[in-house]
Amino acid sequence: MHWLEACSKSHPDCCSSTMAGEPPWYPTRLLDVGEHGQKTGGGEKIRLVTTASERPRGGYTTLSHCWGTSQPLRLLTGTMASFQQSINLAALPQTFRDAIEVTRRIGIRYLWIDSLCIIQDDDGNTDWLREAAMMHKVYSRSFCTISATASQDCNDGIFRTRTAPVVPEDPVPFDTQHITCDVAESQFWDDNVSNAHINTRGWVFQERLLSPRTIHFGEQQVFWECRGLDAAESFPAGWPRDPSYQFKDRLPNELDAARQHRGPEWEVFWYSRWGHVVYEYSRTDLTVPSDKLVALGGVANTFAAANGDQYVAGMWRRHLAVEILWLASRDRSGAQVAVRPPQYRAPSWSWASIDGEV
C-alpha cells in the first residue's frame, strides 16, 4: 500500500492518463468485486458490469497472467446474462480469486480479466477484435496491473508461502562511520521479474509496457514497477540500479512529451524507441502465432498518437526505407533460427512475417 499511495500522490508521470482534466475511461466490461473488507469465501459472488449502462465509481485494476494449459471459466455469448447477475467465486481459478483479493485490499472495486470481460465465442471474433483494438487504453488507464509473475497457469494462484529470510543476505563489512550501504544481487530483478515466464509472453509484453503501475507477485517477494520507481520488499525505497528503465524507457511519458514537441529530433526519438520495442517484442512467445501484430497493436496505437505516422505491417510509413533494413538473429553457430509461418501474416519485408528474434 505504501508504494501505491506514494505513487498516486507524488509521481505525476504515473498519473498522466487521469490528469489534465481528462474524463475517466473504462473498458466495455468490468468485474464488480465488491467493497474492501469482503471475504473471498466459497459461496461468495461477484458480477460482470457493462460500463456504458452502469458507470463505475472509481478506478479499476487489470490482471496479467498466463492461461497455461488450463481452460478457465470464460465469458461466452450464452453466459453473458448469468454473469451480469452473479459469478460464483468457487468456479474461478485460484489466480482470479487472488486477483480479486488484491483488488479489494488496495481499495478498488473493479477488475478487468481478459477471459471474463471479452466474449470468447462470438461469430467472427467480433468482440475480441474490437476489445483488442482498445488494449492500449485498457492497461494504460488502469489504476494498476496485478501480475501473477511466479505463476505458470491460472490455477497456480498469485500468493506464495515463504520462509524468512526471503532474500539471502550478503553482509559486506565496512570500517567506516555514518555510512549505510545496500548490496543487491545484480541478477535478482532479472531472474524474478524480467525473465519470469509470464514476461516472456507476447501479450504480456505490451501489458507491462503500457501499465502505469505493476505489482509483481514473485516466487520470493513482491516487486513494484512504475514510471518513477522500481522497488521490492528487500529494497522498499527503490532498487539500486533502476532495472526496468531499459525495458520501459519511461515510454508513455516520453511519448506524451513528443506529442507537443514535434521536430527532427523527435523523429529520431520515435523511431529509435520503436526499434527497441520491436527487438524486445520479437524475443517473446505467442501461443497463437497469428496474434503477432495484434498483440503489439496497443503499443503501436500509443506511438501513432505521438508521431502522427501511418502504421504499416509493424512499421511506420515515413520511415519505411530504414525500417525494412531489419535482420533475423542467428544462434551462436551462425545458423538461422527464425522461421516463416505457413500462413500469411505480413509482407515478407516486415519483421512480423517471421517467428523469431530480429
pLDDT tens for each residue of 239-261: 776 666 556 654 655 555 555 55
Residues 239 and 256 in one domain: no
Mean per-residue pLDDT, 162-182: 62
Q: What is the per-residue pLDDT for 176?
A: 63
Q: What is the per-residue pLDDT for 81?
A: 95
Nearest residue to 332 (alpha-carbon basis) of 349, 353, 357, 354: 357
Nearest residue to 113 (alpha-carbon basis) of 225, 3, 33, 55: 33
Residues 60 and 205 in one domain: yes
Q: Are β-strands 144-147 and 60-64 bridged in parallel, bridged antiparallel, or unpaired?
A: parallel
Indicate the pTM of the whole model: 0.88
Which of 220, 248, 276 is a domain's end point? Answer: 248
Which of 248, 279, 298 is a domain's end point? Answer: 248
Instruction: State CA 126 to chain mean position distance.
Output: 23
Q: Answer yes or no: is pLDDT of 302 > 90.
A: no
Q: Answer yes or no: is pLDDT of 132 > 70.
A: yes
Who has greater pLDDT, 13 or 83? 83
pLDDT digits (tens, 9 = 90+) for 51-76: 999 999 899 999 999 988 777 789 99
pLDDT digits (tens, 9 = 90+) for 90-127: 999 999 999 999 999 999 999 999 999 999 998 888 99
Residues 278 and 185 in one domain: no
Mean per-residue pLDDT, 329-351: 81
Range of the domain at 167: 2-248
Strand locations in the chain (E): 29-32, 45-50, 60-64, 87-88, 110-112, 144-147, 213-217, 222-226, 230-232, 311-312, 315-316
State the first-to-last Cα distance of the chain, in angstroms, to the nearest integer.
39
Residues 199 and 259 in one domain: no
The answer to the question of residue 204 being in a domain is: yes
Residues 21 and 159 in one domain: yes
Residues 161 and 296 in one domain: no
Who has greater pLDDT, 242 or 79? 79
Indicate the pLDDT class of residue 50, thresholds 50, 70 and 90. Answer: very high
Q: Answer yes or no: is pLDDT of 169 > 90.
A: no
Number of domains in the chain: 2
Which of 230, 248, 266 is a domain's end point? Answer: 248
Q: What is the per-residue pLDDT for 270?
A: 79
Residues 204 and 265 in one domain: no
- What's the mean pLDDT when you consider all of the chain? 85
